[in-house]
Copies of this chain bind each other. A is one copy, B any other.
């Protein structure tokens, strides 16, 4: 199931970024599950990773290798290589060694990524045997196949592509993401890959990515479970005619905005594909004292199983939203200052049921596929938004059946 339109867009190739896929048969044998991405020499690459303490072996390795001017990304679906102890670290490292040997580079220039079931040993021999095939398939115009190869419980491939103009030069931004469950990214989501032909230093690229991820992937949640494998990568090949994007420049500002837009689009696609999701819920918290409390309130609503099942039932059971705000842990919350809206229907004012509210008006909003919840705290100036989805029978079915 997926909420709203989730068509895969036309994906503009990014000069200097090649992708090759193949079927290694890691979990299933009928579809591509291995992806190799090659960045042209001179490319820069930024990344953010999960903050889960039990982060997967490939996350450890990729985080370490990021500083060594990476040239290749190796991504497999079907197995997360997480909770696999020392064997997992050896497997992640040896996959880098094999890619390096094929391309005559240093193993530290390869970043490994894995997504799939936790706790099973990575079938490294299958991956090694399939590597030459991914290599021979490397072409720039290959994003659709790549976006499909990284899917797990996703029901559709998630892509974004745009050609923007900076100082009269065309710059291409193309990216993909995957994910449907174990989604409450904390630093990034499992997995996002965005590429551009802009020329930009590693430090500036990292700054762009970190800002963008904080407002996009770090503001979505399906089930509150932060994955062991979250990662988001931003690659810049420098092949555009635009001169290098420098710190504090107008070009940097435009570029950062464009990257953020890409990340927000790809993050929203993950929520639209949230496991069992039938509704997309945008939770806005306004007039908070700071970003932290705004996100805290929004996520408490987003994670409440009672709120999520009410949305699934299209039931304007707003008492559950109110109860979630009340238990969110904000210090000295004055409920008499709080208003709550479903789309533009005021349901709560001064902490109680709004005088003009009618069940019919609430029901009309709840029947929609995309709904916004706005909570006005009346404490300050800060606004934050979190995207989430509802909780359905299918969420239980998907996660009760996932390994079988």
- B-contacting residues, A298-340, CB 8 Å: 303-306, 309-310, 312-313, 315, 317-320, 322-328, 330, 333, 335
Residues of B within 8 A of A400 (CB): 309-310, 312-313, 315
- Stretch from A52-60, A247-255, A282-290 contacting the other chain: A52-60
Verify A305–B399 contact, CB threshold 8 A: yes
Verify B322–A54 contact, CB threshold 8 A: yes
- B-contacting residues, A352-404, CB 8 Å: 352-353, 391-393, 395-397, 399-404
Q: Which of B118, B319, B325 contacts A322 (CB 8 A)?
A: B118
Verify A323–B54 contact, CB threshold 8 A: yes
Shortest distance between the CB of A391 and any CB in chain B (Å): 6
| Docked complex Cα distance between A312 and B310 (Å) | 21
| Docked complex Cα distance between A182 and B324 (Å) | 10
Q: Which of B83, B85, B181, B313 contacts A401 (CB 8 A)?
A: B313
Residues of B within 8 A of A237 (CB): none
Residues of B within 8 A of A309 (CB): 395-396, 399-400
- Stretch from A209-217, A220-228, A262-270 contacting the other chain: A220-228
Copies of this protein in the complex: 2
| Docked complex Cα distance between A87 and B182 (Å) | 42
Q: Which of B227, B228, B306, B325 contacts A54 (CB 8 A)?
A: B325
> For the complex, is A103 an interface residue (Cβ under 8 Å from B)?
no
> For the complex, is A186 an interface residue (Cβ under 8 Å from B)?
yes
Residues of B within 8 A of A83 (CB): 318-319, 322, 348, 351-353
Report A74-102 CB contacts with B as 1/0, cut-off 8 Å: 00000010111111100000000000000
| Docked complex Cα distance between A312 and B118 (Å) | 18
By beta carbon, the residue of chain B nearest A333 is B53
Q: Which of B181, B226, B330, B402 contacts A327 (CB 8 A)?
A: B226
Verify B312–A186 contact, CB threshold 8 A: no
By beta carbon, the residue of chain B nearest A325 is B54
> For the complex, is A169 an interface residue (Cβ under 8 Å from B)?
no
Shortest distance between the CB of A326 and any CB in chain B (Å): 3
By beta carbon, the residue of chain B nearest A117 is B319
> For the complex, is A27 an interface residue (Cβ under 8 Å from B)?
no
Residues of B within 8 A of A330 (CB): 53
- B-contacting residues, A146-187, CB 8 Å: 181-182, 184, 186
By beta carbon, the residue of chain B nearest A54 is B326
Q: Which of A184, A305, A397 neighbours the largest number of chain B CB atoms within 10 Å of its CB? A: A305
Verify A391–B402 contact, CB threshold 8 A: no
Shortest distance between the CB of A244 and any CB in chain B (Å): 38
> For the complex, is A4 an interface residue (Cβ under 8 Å from B)?
no
Verify B393–A351 contact, CB threshold 8 A: no
> For the complex, is A63 an interface residue (Cβ under 8 Å from B)?
no
By beta carbon, the residue of chain B nearest A87 is B352
Shortest distance between the CB of A308 and any CB in chain B (Å): 9
Verify B323–A118 contact, CB threshold 8 A: yes
> For the complex, is A350 an interface residue (Cβ under 8 Å from B)?
yes
> For the complex, is A119 an interface residue (Cβ under 8 Å from B)?
yes
| Docked complex Cα distance between A201 and B306 (Å) | 40
Residues of B within 8 A of A393 (CB): 393, 396-397
Residues of B within 8 A of A305 (CB): 223-225, 305, 391, 395, 399
Residues of B within 8 A of A401 (CB): 313
Residues of B within 8 A of A82 (CB): 319, 322-323
Verify A326–B402 contact, CB threshold 8 A: no
Verify B85–A352 contact, CB threshold 8 A: yes
| Docked complex Cα distance between A118 and B82 (Å) | 43
Q: What are 24 inter-chain pairs, A to B, with CB distance below 8 A?
A: A52-B323, A55-B326, A82-B319, A82-B322, A83-B348, A83-B352, A83-B353, A85-B350, A86-B352, A118-B317, A118-B322, A119-B319, A182-B320, A224-B303, A225-B304, A225-B323, A226-B326, A228-B319, A228-B326, A303-B303, A309-B395, A310-B399, A315-B404, A391-B396
